Chain A
Amino acid sequence: MNTMLLLVRREFWEHRSLWIAPLVWAGIIVVLSAWLFFFVLPKHLPDGVLQAPNVEAIEGISDRDREEIRQALEAAKTHDVPKTTVSISFLGISQLISAFTCIVVFFYLIDCLFTERRDRSILFWKSLPLSDTQVVLSKFAVALVVVPIGVVLLATVTQFLLYSLFWLQFHDTVLAKVMADWSFTSWMRALVVEFAVLFCGVLWYAPIAAYFLLLSVWARKLVFLWAIVPFIAIPVLEWVFFQSSHVGEFIGQRFGGFVELMHLDTAAFNLGVHDSEGPHISDVLASVDVSGVLTSLETWMGLLAAAVMGYATIRIRRYRDDS
């Protein structure tokens, strides 16, 4: 266990972008949000909105605008928006950071077993009593366990920061009504959803991660092209020669299919105060279903493919003789 922890630590020594890039990205989100809250919104909101404790007290707006704002706040109250604002913003931030980190992890996966061959440091690692299985599993652990958990934690911190900034700027204004009354329950539910999404996402994306890792240990050069081109070229060639799109659909399904299996309705995340038609965030939280992913044959076929590619990666690293 200690060896595995050290191997994981080693990955973060070597691939510092794994933790620096998401941190910088989260920092950018916080700075942009602060700019929005403190400079953009005060400038663009109608005069008097930020000074008014309620809608009636807002000065300098038309009756029509005043009525719209009143209706919006009423709708918000009806839909329990204050208690779920935290959830929505939390998931939104988490998605932003996750998407960015996926790109970072992609580069990590295609690079980690390629660079050690290119700079011949593989000979140093192989001079130590470490099995190839341990080494390859540590790379999987970084990509599929450690970094995803880090993303959730980072998203949590980022959300707290944004929430604090919003509170600082708007707590004594009419906008405070659309800000969450602090609801620990709704936050915890959001966290549960996030971990559920994370768990299913990891299971679902495992074969894609395994494919990139296999390329990393196999490709002699141009590993980036090997990673990208098949996803584009094969669907295009299929369309050109057979006028069909099965491969493209399969690839699309492998990238986003688990959301459907979890019964997550992404429209819920776009819930606005004017929108009373879409599903409510509370309904979404209640309907998150991990079993949909766990009972899907596609999930298990994907995991089987990941295991086969993982095994191939270990064998190639063990027996490849080009150092």
Chain B
Amino acid sequence: MTTIIEARGLTKNYGDTQALRGVDLNVQPGRIVGLIGPNGAGKTSLIKAVLGLTSFHGELKVVGRDPRTERDALMNEVCFIADVAVLPRWIKVSQALDFVAGVHPRFDRKRAEEFLAKTDIRMDRKVRQLSKGMVTQLHLALILAIDARLLVLDEPTLGLDLLFRRSFYDNLLNDYFDKERTILVTTHQVEEIENILTDVLFIHHGKIVLDSPMESLGDRFTQLVPAPGSVERARALKPIQERDVFGRAAMLFDGARREELAALGEVRTPSVADLFVAMMSPPDSAAAARKEAA
């Protein structure tokens, strides 16, 4: 089966700023990959490169095609939602369906209509007359009805309330995702999607700093809240991050033996959000905070 995204040494510069610094990536079919990073980390640059929307250096194949030279053909097999506000505001719902049905060979109009029938969106409405949540539903209806191999979502639920966000990802899982399809998603609301991800990619300063299947995270990372007398012993094992939680130290370890940590206190598997904070924070921020508190 073709690798969906294969990148080697991807670099992208905006003037003096390096947005991507030699990114290597390998995404297989049937995965839901979360691309997570702070603002300015290079998420959007990487996604734009994947979609052929920007120039870059390095090797990149998406569904076996070069996005630089085969972008038009690529869009037959790749869909994306850039964010919630990119549907043209003048277009009517019926026109949007007519248009996508006319230009996209893999669009199933009936499926889109069935999805829309479950919403409050009327065919004669213009996008400007819809709420932000409804616009997202419409966009999702258009995308779900396309039989694509890769779906790229860049902050697809930004600015939506919790109900719409939850419904968005439920629909994505129930009506779209299967073993043949791959989803690459970026979002700031990590905690809301971590339970649907199969893989997680952390990007920071233009580099991939974590590329791991979700099921491996538990084997690799451990969070420890050491017993009061064991704090210094735990520190000696070199946690990658330490922070104070209700007056007690909480430490995150990469690659430490879980049994060894369990002897020092309470251990648990960190959430993706915990990992994100740990890996994106400056290395000595916890120590500095402790000094300041002291």
Interface, chain A (partner B; CB < 8 A): 2-3, 6-7, 10, 13-14, 116, 119-124, 126-131, 318-319, 321, 323
Contacts and interface: CB of A to CB of B under 8 A. Distances in A.
Interface residues of B, number: 32
Contacts of A6: 98-99, 102-103
Contact of B102 (A2, A126, A318, A319): A2
Given A120-B85, A123-B83, A323-B82, 8 more contacts: A116-B88, A121-B89, A122-B86, A123-B86, A124-B82, A124-B139, A129-B72, A323-B53
B62 interface: no
Contacts of A120: 82, 85-86
Interface in B177-219: none
Given A3-B102, A6-B103, A119 B55 contact: no
Most A CB within 10 A of own CB, among B73, B103, B105, B139: B103
Interface of B: 48, 51, 53-55, 71-73, 75-76, 79-83, 85-92, 95, 98-100, 102-105, 139
Secondary structure of the A contact surface, majority rule: helix
Given A128-B103, A129-B104, A130-B72, A121 B87 contact: yes
Contacts, number: 71
The 6 closest A-B pairs by CB, nearest first: A123-B82, A121-B88, A129-B75, A6-B102, A123-B86, A321-B54
Contacts of B102: 2-3, 6
Contacts of B104: 128-129
Nearest to B68: A319
A90 to B, nearest CB: 35
Contact of B88 (A7, A124, A127, A129): A124
A14 B86 CA distance: 15
B103 A130 contact: yes
Contact of A13 (B82, B85, B90): B90
A321 B48 contact: yes
A130 B72 CA distance: 6
Most B CB within 10 A of own CB, among A14, A121, A319: A121
B71 to A, nearest CB: 8
B23 to A, nearest CB: 17
Contacts of B95: 10, 13
A13 B103 contact: no
B203 to A, nearest CB: 18
14 contacts: A3-B102, A6-B99, A14-B90, A119-B86, A123-B86, A124-B82, A124-B86, A127-B51, A127-B80, A128-B100, A129-B75, A319-B55, A321-B53, A321-B54
Contact of A119 (B81, B88, B100): B88
B105 A129 contact: yes
Contact of B76 (A2, A10, A14, A129): A129
A187 B86 CA distance: 49
Contacts of B73: 129
Contacts of B91: 13-14
A305 to B, nearest CB: 27
Contacts of A128: 75, 100, 103-104
A120 B82 CA distance: 9
Contacts of A127: 51, 75, 79-82
